[in-house]
Amino acid sequence: VTPAVYGASDRPPRGDYSRGGAVLADYTCPQDWASYTPADHDTYRRLYERQVAQLPGLACDAFIKALPSLGVKDRIPRFDELNERLHRATGWEIVAVPGLIPELPFFTLLANRKFPVTDWIRKPEEFDYIVEPDVFHDLFGHVPMLFDPTFADYVQRYGQGGIKAHDLGAGEKLARLYWYTVEFGLIRQPDGLRAYGAGILSSVGELKHAVLSDEPRRLPLDLLRTMRTRYKIDTYQANYFVIDSFKQLFDLTEPDFTPLYESLEVATDIEAGVLLPGESGKA
């Protein structure tokens, strides 16, 4: 089965979605920890080591604080072991999935405080760049942020809102909000701009590009603006949206989006990297 996947590109996803019947209706499956090879664990270890070295001054405080909670860094963590800490901290748990999954099951897992984590890891020749999320992106990028109580609540609300958006035919627009917050969000800390988005935090090159480079546009997070903006899946982002705090993010997204979806139906899309009149791009 090659399901239409969330965050889709034009290729079929590469995971094995049958696994001899081990994949359940909600797309979760057991993490087949025993099948990782020593080379797989070594890939994880080297990715972790390279990435952790460049976090200071670029990753947000919440991420740096929670990173040790992932546990082992020299091999791929066991999800059930990690879940003992995560569940105690924020009531979230991670569940294994074969790869990208369709919109509705994705939203439904999040609404139930279950974060889908792809269990396979990239091949050594994909060390620097991979198009689909793998276990390194999902664990290293996403899971530390789920230890932050406010952010963790935001992601659950996002899932609940996603189910509604799906019914209203607005799933694709709402996906842009996920992209520009959970995946590629920037936060203004008292000591400067930092990354909280998993796509940035798990990327060796994008961290500096997102936080330090003069190239990309940076805009204050605005719901309508963000959900009108297309995104690139195969290059560094041409624009980022900046928040001041996770509380601000939570409060901003708390109101009913139904009227917003109506406005979006008649609004035109904005290409990534394009500024509208009056925008400086230097949030």
Q: Which stretch binds ligand PHE (CB under 6 A): 68-76, 194-202, 230-238, 253-261?
A: 253-261
Which residues, 120 to 149, sit near Fe ion by CB under 5 A?
133
Which is it for strands 186-189 and 192-195: parallel, antiparallel or unpaired?
A: antiparallel
Binding mask 174-213 for ligand PHE (x = CB under 6 A): ---x------------------------------------
Choosing from 93, 103, 132, 202, which is the catalytic residue? 202
Q: Which is nearer to Fe ion, 209 or 267 (CB)?
A: 209
Binding partner at 257 among Fe ion, ligand PHE, none, C-beta below 5 to 8 Å by kind = ligand PHE
Joined together, the tokens standing for residue 53 give 């070295």
CA-to-CA distance for 152 and 18, rounded, in angstroms? 30
User: How far are the Cα atoms of 81, 87, 205, 230 from residue 53, in angstroms, in the given order?
Assistant: 25, 27, 13, 31
259: contact with ligand PHE by CB under 6 A: no
CB atoms within 10 A of CB 145: 24
Query: In the beta sheet, which residues pair with residue 243?
Result: 187
157 binds ligand PHE (CB under 6 A): yes
Question: Contact region for ligand PHE (CB under 6 A) — 61-69, 84-92, 156-164, 199-207?
Answer: 156-164
CB under 5 to 8 A by kind: which of Fe ion, ligand PHE, none does 198 bind?
A: Fe ion
Place of tokens 């805009």: 219
Helix (H, G, I), strand (E, B) or coil at 219: strand
Per-residue string for binding with Fe ion, 184-203, x by CB under 5 A? Answer: --------------x-----
Assign residue 279 a region (left: φ > 0; alpha: ψ between -120 and 50; beta: otherwise): beta
256 interacts with ligand PHE by CB under 6 A: yes
Provide φ and ψ at 189, rounded to 5°: -90, 165
Q: Residue 264 in contact with residue 224, Cβ under 8 Å?
A: yes
225 binds ligand PHE (CB under 6 A): no
Residues of the shown chain interacting with ligand PHE in the complex, contacts defined by CB under 6 A: 157-158, 161, 164, 177, 253-257
